[in-house]
Amino acid sequence: MIYQPHSHLTTYILMALNNADLPEGTVRNLMEQDTLKWVFVGGKGGVGKTTCSSVLGILLSQVRSSVLIISTDPAHNLSDAFQQRFAKTPTVVNGFTNLYAMEVDPTIENEEGGSEGVDGFFSDLANAVPGIDEAMSFAEMLKLVRTMDYSVIVFDTAPTGHTLRLLQFPSTLEKGLAKVMSLKSRFGGVLSQMTRIFGVDDEFGEDAILGKLEAMRDIIEQVNRQFKDPDMTTFVCVCIPEFLSLYETERLVQELTRFEIDTHNIIINQVLFDVEVVESQLLKARMRMQQKYLDQFYTLYDDFNITKLPLLPQEVCGVEDLKAFKYHFLTPYQPSRARCSAEELESGIAKLKEQLKDAEAEYEKIRKGKNQV
């Protein structure tokens, strides 16, 4: 028999004392921050980012006039989460009047039959320079979003590596476009002469290209300022209580700090709660492992709002499941304890007595062995 140093009651009392001074373990702070315009949700692949993004969208729709959820993950799961097909344009979510969703591709697609003029030039540029396709697509998406009047926009992002690139795009584009614009004064005359010599029409001329670059730069500069404003932008890290996810979250938080992007919420998903006397040795081992990493999360991020979500026996799929799951985001999860019958209690007491007898016998053997020595 393995000696357990604390009873379940003692463990919960110690946890309560340790967490007494920590920020509230919910996402209510996001709902109450009415200045938020951009909410990014990200983390390691497979930790439940889409489910969390969907629930956050539902919760924000209760306190905001209009909410848009955008999936920027190439492997779109937003349609699966809501069990409704979404496309590249905002679509109202079934059962809501002010919640919209859309799935965007991180590349620029050519229309059938090809594209011409300035748009064709930008499409060719995107296909020619590695990485710029995502940046250009991001800029076009932001331009589209800015023309729509949404109170808050929730980004369901791709796994961490792609997300970090996404967050770099405003700064990268701003620097790149500034560089291009600076060349206008040096080579503007040459470019103008070349367009006249080769008979290029006005649509593809110097003014058209530079005009589009200038408009894009204005958008990017504004978005970049907003992304670095903690009143307007925040990043919610989603993870599970395992080593790789903890490591990825730490890397993500450090990168966000480097990009000057606010983050003060962590959602820990798929937590096993110690509700009863568990017979399964596998579950006991998993709980001990999870508790070790949960302790590390609270040590590293003692000033964050850390929300723990339970591992459920079934998938969270569809609007009704998402609505039911949202309550775990608003109130710290308390595992329900089933009421035992008198027979079950008697059986449990008998087991404990047997374990106590075994422990006493083991202790007596050890004591006698010491005395003989």
pLDDT at 23: 74
Residue positions in the annotated binding site? 44-51, 242, 269
Largest CA distance in the chain: 108
**Residue pair 226/38 in contact by the 8 Å Cβ criterion:** yes
- Write the CA distances from 240 to 85, 163, 268, 313, 334, integer angstroms: 28, 18, 5, 16, 18
What would be the CATH architecture of the domain defined by 25-339?
3-Layer(aba) Sandwich (3.40)
Q: Write down the mean pLDDT value for the chain.
A: 77
Short-list 50, 287, 259, 66, CA closest to 171: 259
Amino acid at 172: T
pLDDT at position 107 over 60: no
pLDDT at 35: 94
Q: How far, in Å, CA of 225 to CA of 231, rounded? A: 11
pLDDT for 239-277, tens place per residue? 999 999 999 999 999 989 988 899 999 999 999 987 555
Helix (H, G, I), strand (E, B) or coil at 103: strand
Helix (H, G, I), strand (E, B) or coil at 71: strand
- Length, in residues, of the chain: 373
Q: How far, in Å, CA of 281 to CA of 279, rounded? A: 6
CA angle 235, 248, 101 (to 5 degrees): 40
pLDDT at 246: 94
pLDDT at 12: 46
Domain boundaries, given as residue ranges, for the chain: 25-339, 340-372
Higher pLDDT, 350 or 317: 317
Q: Is residue 238 within a helix (H) or strand (E), and if so which, with residue range?
A: strand 233-239
CA angle 149, 155, 159 (to 5 degrees): 165
Tokens 């023309």 -> residue: 147
Q: For the residues 194-213, what does the mean pLDDT come to? A: 56
pLDDT at 13: 46
Q: How far, in Å, CA of 219 to CA of 184, rounded? A: 19
pLDDT band at residue 4 under the 50/70/90 scheme: very low
* DSSP tag of 273: P
Q: For the residues 313-321, what does the mean pLDDT come to? A: 93
pLDDT for 167-178, tens place per residue? 666 666 666 666
pLDDT at 190: 54
pLDDT band at residue 346 under the 50/70/90 scheme: confident
Enzyme catalytic residues: 73
pLDDT at 365: 82
Amino acid at 188: G
pLDDT for 6-56, tens place per residue? 444 444 444 554 555 667 789 999 999 999 999 999 888 889 999 999 999
Q: Report the number of secondary-structure helices (H) and strands (E) in the chain.
A: 13, 8
**Residue pair 32/60 in contact by the 8 Å Cβ criterion:** no
pLDDT for 113-151, tens place per residue? 444 544 554 454 444 444 455 555 566 666 666 667 899
Residue positions in the annotated binding site for ATP? 44-51, 242, 269
pLDDT at 56: 97
pLDDT at 89: 86
Q: How far, in Å, CA of 159 to CA of 244, rounded? A: 13
Q: Which residues pair with 40 in a beta bridge?
A: 155, 235
pLDDT at position 57 over 70: yes
Short-list 363, 319, 295, CA closest to 82: 319
pLDDT band at residue 183 under the 50/70/90 scheme: low
Surface-to-core class of residue 226, CB atoms within 10 Å of its CB (0-12 exposed, 13-18 middle, 19+ buried): middle
